[in-house]
Amino acid sequence: MKNLLIIAHGSRREESNAEIRLLGKKVADSMPFFIDDVAVAFLELSSPTIGEAIDTCFNKGVEELFILPYFLSAGNHVAKDIPHEIDIARTSWKDRKITTLPHIGESNEMVKLIDRTFKKFQDSQKLIDRPTTYFFKGLPTKSW
């Protein structure tokens, strides 16, 4: 069995953590046939932790685990903290394969996503045809 584990930061705001869990379900529904399941874990502030999620996957019989850091940049969490947690798990699961994928922000698809997001917003707001309001000495003046 092969699983994907999405690792997010975690938040004190439970609604944010629920968004990540929902993302995991959506990804699971769209994954190709070679991934059996998708799980999520949090670096801090929520559960399951990275170690707990890895243990759960392997205890269910997963033989290969792909880890996707759901982070936009390679800060300390991506460069140090997540690899440290994975190294700890590797000592307990020497007979299982763990592959860390590049963090999500490293993907060239992020540029396309930003572009599509802005264009969708632009289309919905008609930004090009929308007048801009300038204020001079407290009086609004429109520019077309």
The structural domains of the chain, ordered by start, are 2-107 (3.40.50.1400), 108-144 (no CATH)
- Rounded to whole angstroms, the Cα distance separating 137 from 64 reads 66
User: pLDDT tens, position by position, for the chain (144 residues)?
Assistant: 999 999 999 999 999 999 999 999 999 999 888 899 999 999 999 999 999 999 999 999 999 999 999 999 999 999 999 999 999 999 999 999 999 999 999 999 999 999 999 998 888 876 555 555 555 555 555 444
- How far is residue 137's CA from residue 135's CA, in Å, rounded to a whole number? 6
Predicted pLDDT at 70? 98
**Contact by Cβ (8 Å): 74, 63:** no
DSSP 62-95: --EEEEEE--SS--HIIIIIHHHHHHHHHHH-TT
What is the predicted pLDDT for the residue at 34?
87
How far apart are the C-alpha atoms of 76 and 24, rounded to whole Å? Answer: 23
